[in-house]
Chain A
Amino acid sequence: MLRQKQFVKKTKSGKVLKVVKEHYLRDDIWCSAEACRACDHTETVLSATPSINKLFPLPHYIIPDTNIFMNQIDVMEKPQITNVIVLQTVLEEVKHLSLPIHKRVRDMISNKEKRFYVFSNEHHRETFIEKLKDETPNDRNDRAIRVATKWYAKHIQGLKPNVSMVMMTDDVANRAKATADGLQAVSVKWYIEALENTELLDMISDTKELDDGQQLLYVEHLSPSHLSSGIKSGKYYQGKLGISSHNYLEGSIYTKIDGVEGTILIVGRENLNRAVNGDIIAVELLPKSEWRTTPTGVVIDEEEEKAEEESLKEEQKKAQEEEDTVMEDATKSAQPSKLDTPQPCGKVVGIIRRNWRQYCGFLDRKSVHTPAGSSAPINVLFYAMDSKVPKIKFRTRQAHSLLGQRIIVSIDSWPKTSRHPIGHFIRTLGDAGDRATETEVLLLEHDVPFHEFSKQVLSFLPIEGENWVVTPEDFNGREDFRSLNVCSIDPPGCTDIDDALHVTPLPNGNYQVGVHIADVTHFVRPNNLMDQEAAMRGTTVYLVDKRIDMLPGLLGTNLCSLRSNVERLAFSCIWELNEDAEIVNVRFTKSVISSKASLTYEEAQNRIDDERMQDDITKGIRILNTLAKRLKQKRMDMGALTLASPEVRFNLERDSQDPVDVEMKELKETNALVEEFMLLANISVARKVYDKFPDSAMLRCHPTPPATSFEKLEKAVARFGITLDHSTSKALSDSLDNAVIPEEPYFNKLLRIMTTRCMMQALYFCSGSMTEQEFRHYGLATDIYTHFTSPIRRYPDIMVHRQLHAAIDSDVKYGTELTDKETMNELCDGLNHRHRMAQQAGRSSVELFTHLFFKNKVEEEEGYVIRILKNAFIVLVPKYGIESIVYASAKAPKITAVDGKDTSKDSAAVQQILVYNPETDSLQSTEPLSPGETPKVQIQLFQKVIVQISIDDDLKGGGEGGMRQKLKMELLKPWIEGLSVHGTCNKDDPEAHAATSTADPNAPLANGTALKKREGGAETTKRAGKRSKA
C-alpha cells in the first residue's frame, strides 16, 4: 500500500537549503463517485446523477483549475454549480495565492449540498506527476490537472448511470491540450451561457471584455522582485494605503522615512496608480519641489463626475483633458506657502498585496443609457458606499432592475488601460433607503458577522434550554453567595446583565465589596464550535435598533444574565476596602449568586436620593456610591482623563422604529458608580492574570499619544490663552480641567471631544509581546489593565475569565490556548479589528438614523468648527452629535442663483471663496491684504457658526431613491458672500451680513465675546467699512 518517493526541493531563506521530504503515494484515495463500486469508499460526495449542461451529452462532474476559483469564486459559490472535484493541486495553489478565497473554497467543500469533493491527486499513485525538465511549476500543475481529469474519466467510464468528466479552465492553451488528450474542456463563460441564467452570467468576471481602452492611463507597476529589492535598499517605501475619507484621490501611508516614522501623501489619480484603500503598496518619493503642505483637501467631485460620464460615452480623450485641468487647478491652489514645512509626497510604483473585498454600493444612474427594460449587456459604473473606494466598472444585463438597489460588487482587476477598476456583480441586497437593507449594508461594510447561529453552534448550549437551573453539582468549587444582597445596575431595557455588585460592612470598619460577573465560561468551553463562533464575532455589536449578539440569545439574555431573584453562576471578585477605598486584600472565586434587584441607573439614583428608602440594598448602594467617589478621586489624582464624545440617543417610534427624537446621552452618578468598580475589578484581575501568565495574559493597553497629534489643537487653543500640556496624562487632565471659558460652557466639552480624537486607540495585546512599560493605559492612568467584566458581549473577557480561573485553581485543566503567545497574538489582532469595526458600525448606525431623522426636515443649529481642510471645514453640531463638511468653494452659477447678484466669475468652474492659510490654520477670504491686516472673514477652529442642516438630495449617481445619502450643512452665520445661504436666522436681518463678518474672528465661540482682543476697535470699524464697499 505504501510506496515511497522522495523529492528534493530547494528553498532559499538567506542560504540555499536542501530540503528532503518524504512523499508517500497511495492507492487508497477513492474517487467518491456514488455509483463507483471499484473504490472502497463508505461515504460518497459526488452524486450518481450530476447536473446536465447542454454542451455535453452526459451528466458530468466538473474539475476546475486554479484560476477558476481565483477569478470566478462568486459563480462557483452559486447553488447551480454542484458535483465539483477540487484537486489537491488546485486547492494548494489557491491557498498559496489567496487565503480568503481558500477559506471560501473550504466552506463550499464542507457544505454537503454543494457536493464538492477534494481529490488528493498529489498523493495518489496514478495521478502524481514529476515536474519535467524545463517545465514551469504552472505548466506542471496544469498537466497534473489534466492527468487527474484523465484518470477520473477513465475511472468512471462505464458507471451506471453514465457520467463524464468536464475540465473547466479559461486558459486556451490548456483547453487545447486537454482536447488533444481526448478530454472535455470548457470555459466558465461557455458553461454558464449554456445554463441560460442571467444572474449567473452577470457574475462572471470577464476582464477582457470590459477593458476597452487601448490608451495607457497608468504607469506599469514594477515587478515583485524589483519592489522587494527597492524596499530593501530604501528606494521605495512600503505601507498600507489609507485613503482620505473626504477625497478618494488622496491617500497616505505611514512608514519609516530615513528612520523617522512619518506619513507620505499620495495625491491624484496618476500618483495613486490603481492602488485601492487598504492595499499594501510600494511608494517612491517625489522630488522635494513637488511636496506640498496641506491639511487634507476636499475635492468637490461633481466636475469630475461629468468627465466620468463622458468617458463612458467614449469621448475619453476629451474628458481626460478636462479632468486633468481640474485636477491641476486643485494642485495649484494647494501649492505650499513657504512658511510651512512641506509634507513628503510620493507615487505608487507597485502593489505588494491587494486588499480587495466585496463592496456594497449602488449603480451610477448616469452610466445606464439603454432604454428601460432592455436586457442587453452594458458596462455600468458602481459607487461603493465606502467613499474611499473608486468607482468600479462592471458589465450587466440587468442594469435597470439594479437601479435604486443596494448591490454587492467585487473588483477583479485594474488593467493599466482602464480608468476604473473592473469588477463583477455579486448580488442585490434590497431597495436603497430601506432601513433593513441599509442596516445590512452597514454590517457588511464593517465586516460584522451577523448570520444566525448555526445548528452546530447551538448544539453546545445546555440541553435543558430555558429550564436550566443551578444544580447541587454546580456548587463544587463555588462559593455560595446567594444570601448576599447583590444587585445590578444597568441602562434601561438591558437584558444581557453581566455584572452585579454587593457590599457588606465588616466588623473592623472596613467593607467587603464584591463584583460578580456572569460566568460565561461555564457554558462556553474552549475550542468548541460555540467558542470558535464567539471568538470569530469577537464582540456584540450594538446598533440603534438592534443588537448583533456574540453569544446565542439563550446564554446572553437568560442563562448567563444576572437577572434578579434567580440563581446564577458568577465569577466574583471580592475586596476588602477600608474607609478611604484602599484595597486591603482581594480574592477571586467562582460563585453562585442570586441578585436581589436589577435596577436601572435612574432607579438606583432615586434610591440614593430618596431619604425614606432604608432597606439593605439601598444602604448598600449608598456605601458603594461613597466608595466609588473616593475611588474616582484617587484615579483623577493619578491623572486619569475624562474624555468626551458627542453621543446621542434616539427615541424610536414603537412600531415603525423610525426615529422621532434625538437627545444627548446623559450620565448619572450611578453610571460612574458601576464604572468605578468595574475598573477596579479589571485592574485587580489584570494583575492576577499577568502574574500567572507572564507571557500570554490577555491585557489591554492605551498607548501614549505622540506629541505631534496635539500640535494643531495646541495652536488653536493658544488663541484663547490656554495651554495644553500633554507630557503626561496627569498634566493633560489638569490642563483640560483648567480650560474653561466662562462665557461658553460647551467649550470644555468640545475641547475634550477634540482631545479624544488626538488619542490612540486602546488595544488588546498579549503580555509576552510588549515590554512592561508599554502595558500602560494612558486614559485610565493605570499601569496594567484588562477586560474582565463583560464576558457576555466581549470575547477578550472570556479569555481573561479562563486565565483567571486557571490562576486561582491549580486543578483547572487548560490547553495551549491560554499559554501560546503566537495564538494569543493572532487572537488579539482579530479582536482589535472586530472591536474597531463594531464601534464604527455603531457609529454608522447612528448616522443612518440621523439621516432618517432629518428626512424632509431643515434645521438650523449652532455648531462649532472642529477641523479645517484645504477647501472646506468640518462643523460639529452638539445638539445632534453630528458633524459634516461645509465647503469653502462653490460653483459660480450656484452663487448667482442664490444671491441674485452677478458675481461675474462664471468662467471659473470652481471658485475658491475662502483660501487656506497654513500660518494660522484657518480659512480666510481672498481679498488682497496689506501687512498686519486681518482678513475680513476667517474660519478658525472652535469658532461658533450657525448652519442649516438638511439631507442632500442632490445625490451621487444622479439618481433618486436615497443613494449614498449625505447630511448637508450649509453656512448661515457668519455670512460669507457666495457661500452662505439664507435661513430664518439671517433672512430678516439686512445687517446680519455685515454684523457677523465684522465680528472679531478671534472671538472664540459666541460672536462678539472675545476673550483676548488682539486688535483694537478702530481696526474692526475699518474692516467693517471695507466690507460695505465690496
Chain B
Amino acid sequence: MSRVELLSPEGLRIDGRRPAELRKITSTTSVLSQADGSAYLEHGNTKVLAAVYGPREARHRALVIHDRAVLNVELNLAPFSTGERRRRNKNDKRLLEIAQFVKQTFEPVVITTLYPRSQIDIYFQVIQHDGGTLQACINAATLALIDAGIAMTDYVCACTAGWVEREAAIDLNYTEESADTSEMTIAMLPKSSKITLMQMESRLHVDKLDEVIALAGEGCKQIHEVLDKTVRDRAEDLARKMAV
C-alpha cells in the first residue's frame, strides 16, 4: 500500500487539480517560418511542436495514390524531454505507434481527395514529456493543419481520461499515467461529436467505461474551445495586419 496517493480523499489530485480539470493549455500557430503550417502546444508540462509540409509532390513514386493525398507522420521525442536524458531510436516502436495513431486519426478528417497524387507531412517534436503525448500531438496537428490551410471537415480534439483510484479523471499527467492507471485517449470531431480515435492499452472495468468516455468527451469539447480561440485570434491578427 505504499503506492502514491493519486487522488486525496479531499478530492484533489497530486498536482492540485480536481478530477475533471484539464491542465493549462497554451497554444500558438505559425511558429516556424519554413513550414507550411506549424503550431506549438502545451498541456501543462507536455510540450509539442508540430510542423506541416504540403501538400507537396510525393517523395517516392511508390507512395503516390492517384486520387488522394498521402499522410506521412513522423514523431520525435527530444532526448531532454524526460527526466532521464536518453536518446531514442527513430524506429522506437512506441513512437512509430503514436505516429500511426495520428495518421489514422487524420486520414478521415483531412479531405485528401482535394490533393491527389500529393503528400502531406506532419512532423512532431516532443520537447517536454509529462503524460498525454498522443493527445498533445493530435491537438497540435489540428492547429498546424489549419495553419497550413489544408482542408478538413472539422477540428480534431483529443483528450485522455482514466480511472484514478476511485473516480474518472481527465488529462492524466506523467505521474498518474505511470502509476498503472487505465488510461484512454479519445479523439473527437467536436461539431458532430463523432469519435475518430479511441485508444486504450490497459484494463478497465466495463461499468466504468461510459463514465470515462463521457469525461474524455467533455474534455475534448473544452479543448476545442481553446484551439478554436487560438485559430480565431491568429486569423484576426492576420486580418488586422493585412488591413494595414
Residues of A whose CB lies within 8 Å of any CB of B are 2, 4, 6, 15, 17-26, 88, 95, 99, 106, 109-110, 118, 120, 122-123, 813, 815-816, 819-820, 826
Additional A-B contact list (12), CB under 8 Å, known A17-B84, A120-B10, A820-B180:
A17-B83, A19-B83, A20-B128, A20-B130, A21-B45, A22-B45, A23-B16, A24-B16, A110-B9, A813-B207, A815-B203, A816-B203
Please give me the residue from chain A that is nearest to B26 by CB atom: A4
Ordered by A's residue number, 20 sampled pairs between the chains whose C-beta atoms are within 8 Å are A2-B17, A6-B45, A20-B45, A20-B128, A20-B130, A21-B14, A21-B15, A22-B23, A22-B44, A22-B130, A23-B16, A26-B16, A99-B2, A118-B9, A120-B16, A122-B16, A123-B12, A123-B16, A813-B206, A813-B207
The residues in B between 3 and 42 inclusive whose CB is less than 8 angstroms from any CB of A are 5, 8-10, 12, 14-17, 21, 23-24
Task: Mark B174-195 against chain A: 1 for CB-CB distance below 8 A, else 0.
Answer: 0100001000000000000000
**A99 close to B175 (CB less than 8 A):** no
A819-B203 in contact (CB<8A): yes
- CB-CB under 8 A for A15 and B84, given A2-B21, A20-B130, A813-B207: yes
Q: Residues of A contacting B45 with CB < 8 Å?
A: 6, 20-22
Complex Cα spacing A17 to B205, Å: 35
A110 — which chain B residues lie within 8 A by C-beta? 9
Q: Given A2-B21, A19-B83, A24-B15, do A109 and B9 touch, yes or no (CB 8 Å)?
A: yes
In the complex the two chains form, is B84's CB within 8 Å of A24's CB?
no
A263 to B5, CA, bound (A): 38
Residues in A neighbouring B128, C-beta threshold 8 A = 20
- Size category of the binding interface on chain B: 20 to 34
Q: Does B242 contact A (CB under 8 A)?
A: no
Residues of A within 8 A of B2 (CB): 99
Inter-chain CA distance A524–B84, complex, in Å, is: 45
In the complex, whether B239 has a CB less than 8 A from a CB of chain A is no
Question: How long is the Cα–Cα vector from A123 to B44 in the complex, in angstroms?
Answer: 16
Q: Does B173 contact A (CB under 8 A)?
A: yes
A6 to B206, CA, bound (A): 36
List of 7 A-B pairs having minimum Cβ-Cβ separation, nearest first? A24-B16, A123-B16, A815-B205, A22-B15, A17-B83, A22-B44, A4-B24
The closest CB in chain A to the CB of B175 belongs to A21
Q: Cβ of B1 < 8 Å from any Cβ of A?
A: yes
Question: Do most interface residues of chain B lie in helix, strand or loop, or is the interface mixed?
Answer: loop
| Alpha-carbon distance A123/B14, docked complex (angstroms) | 9
How many A-B pairs have beta carbons closer than 8 Å: the answer is 60
CA distance A21 to B10 in the complex (A): 20
Chain B residue contacts of A25, Cβ below 8 A? 16
Residues of A within 8 A of B17 (CB): 2, 24
- Are B10 and A118 in contact, CB atoms less than 8 angstroms apart? yes
Q: How far is the CB of B97 from chain A (nearest CB, A)?
A: 23
Task: Give Cα distance in the complex from A18 to B85, angstroms.
Answer: 10
Taking CB atoms and an 8 Å cut-off, the chain B residues in 192-216 that contact chain A are 203, 205-207
Which residues of A have CB within 8 Å of B84?
Answer: 15, 17
A124: nearest chain-B partner, CB-CB: B16
A residues less than 8 Å from B16 (CB atoms): 23-26, 120, 122-123
Chain A residues within an 8 Å CB radius of B205: 813, 815
The answer to whether B24 touches A99, judged by C-beta atoms less than 8 angstroms apart, is no
Distance between A21 CB and nearest chain B CB, rounded to angstroms: 6
B83: A residues at CB distance < 8 A: 17-20
CB distance from B179 to the nearest CB of A (A): 11
Residues of B within 8 A of A118 (CB): 8-10
B9–A2 CB distance below 8 A: no
Bound Cα distance A820, B203 (Å): 10
Q: How far is the CB of A636 from chain B (nearest CB, A)?
A: 43
- Among A99, A106, A813, the residue within 8 A (CB) of B9 is A106
Closest to A830 in B: B1
A120 to B10, CA, bound (A): 8
Q: Give which listed residue, A2, A20, A95, contacts B24 with CB less than 8 A.
A: A2
User: How many Å lie between the Cα of A110 and that of B8 in the bound state?
Assistant: 13
Once the chains are docked, how many angstroms separate the CA of A23 from the CA of B12? 11
Q: In chain A, what residue has the closest Cβ to B205? A: A815
**Residues of B with C-beta under 8 A to A17:** 83-84
User: Contacts of A19 on B, CB cut-off 8 Å?
Assistant: 83
Which residue of chain A has its CB nearest to the CB of B17?
A: A24
Contact of B15 among A23, A95, A109 (CB under 8 A): A23
Q: In the complex, what residues of A have CB within 8 A of residue B5's CB?
A: 95
Q: Mark B42-76, 1 if CB is under 8 A from A, else 0.
A: 00110000000000000000000000000000000
**Closest CB-CB distance, B171 to chain A, in whole Å?**
11
A841 CB to closest chain B CB (Å) equals 24
- Using Cβ atoms and an 8 Å threshold, which residues of chain B touch A815? 203, 205
Cβ contact within 8 Å between B173 and A22: yes
Separation in Å of the A19 CB from the closest CB of chain B? 5
In the assembled complex, which residues on chain A have CB atoms less than 8 Å from the CB atom of B21? 2
By beta carbon, the residue of chain B nearest A11 is B83
Which residue of chain B has its CB nearest to the CB of A119? Answer: B10
Say yes or no: B9 contacts A120, CB within 8 Å: no
Q: Which residues of B contact A18 (CB under 8 A)?
A: 83
A99 to B14, CA, bound (A): 18
Which A residues are CB-close (under 8 A) to B24? 2, 4
Inside 8 A of B12's CB, which chain A residues have their CB? 120, 123
CB-nearest residue of chain B to A3: B24
Q: B20 CB to closest chain A CB, in angstroms? A: 13
- Given known A25-B16, A813-B207, contact A120–B8 (CB-CB < 8 A): yes
> Closest residue of chain A to B11, judged by CB?
A120
| A residues in contact with B10, CB < 8 Å | 88, 118, 120
What CA separation (Å) do A123 and B175 show in the bound complex? Answer: 17
> Which residues of B in the span 146-185 have a Cβ within 8 Å of any Cβ on A?
173, 175, 180
CA–CA, A921 to B104, complex, Å? 79
Q: Which residue of B lies closest to A118 (CB)?
A: B10
Select from chain B the residue with minimum beta-carbon distance to A24: B16
Q: What is the bound-complex CA distance between A21 and B45, given in angstroms?
A: 8
CA gap between A118 and B9 in the complex, in Å: 9
Which of B5, B10, B23 gathers most chain A CB within 10 Å?
B10
Complex Cα distance A122/B83, Å?
A: 24
Most buried by B among A17, A25, A88, A816: A816
Q: List B contacts of A123 (CB < 8 A).
A: 12, 16
For the complex formed, measure the closest distance between the CB of A302 and the CB atoms of chain B, giving whole angstroms. Answer: 44
Among residues of B, the one whose C-beta sits closest to the C-beta of A5 is B16
Residue on B nearest A25 in the bound complex, by CB? B16
**When chains A and B are docked, how far (Å) is the Cα of A22 from the Cα of B22?**
12
A26: chain B residues within 8 A (beta carbon)? 16
Residue on B with the closest CB to A106?
B9
Closest to A526 in B: B205
A95 nearest CB neighbor, chain B only? B5
> Which of B16, B130, B206 has most A Cβ within 10 Å?
B16
For the complex formed, measure the closest distance between the CB of B80 and the CB atoms of chain A, giving whole angstroms. 10
A352 to B123, CA, bound (A): 52
The residue of chain B having its C-beta at the shortest distance from the C-beta of A820 within the complex is: B180
Whole-angstrom distance between the Cβ of B3 and the nearest chain A Cβ:
9
Q: Whole-angstrom distance from the CB of B136 to the nearest CB of chain A?
A: 14
B225 to chain A, nearest CB (A): 15
Q: Select from chain A the residue with minimum beta-carbon distance to B15.
A: A22
**A529–B21 Cα gap in the complex (Å)?**
29
CA distance A109 to B180 in the complex (A): 28
Shortest CB-to-CB span from B4 to chain A, Å, is 10
Q: In the complex, A819→B180 CA distance in Å?
A: 13
CB-nearest residue of chain B relative to A21? Answer: B15
Distance A517 CA – B43 CA, assembled complex (angstroms): 53
- Residues of B near A24 (CB, < 8 A) are 15-17
CB distance from B114 to the nearest CB of A (A): 40
From A20, which residue of chain B is reached at the shortest CB distance?
B45
Bound Cα distance A816, B181 (Å): 10
Chain B residues closer than 8 Å to A21, beta-carbon distance: 14-15, 45, 173, 175
A85 smallest CB distance to B (angstroms): 12
Q: How far is the CA of A120 from the CA of B16 in the complex (A)?
A: 9
By beta carbon, the residue of chain A nearest B46 is: A22
Q: Judging by beta carbons under 8 Å apart, are A826 and B203 in contact?
A: no
Q: Cα distance A541–B104 when bound, in Å?
A: 58
For B1, what are the chain A residues with a Cβ–Cβ distance below 8 Å? 99, 826
Closest Cβ of chain B: how far from A237's Cβ, in Å? 24
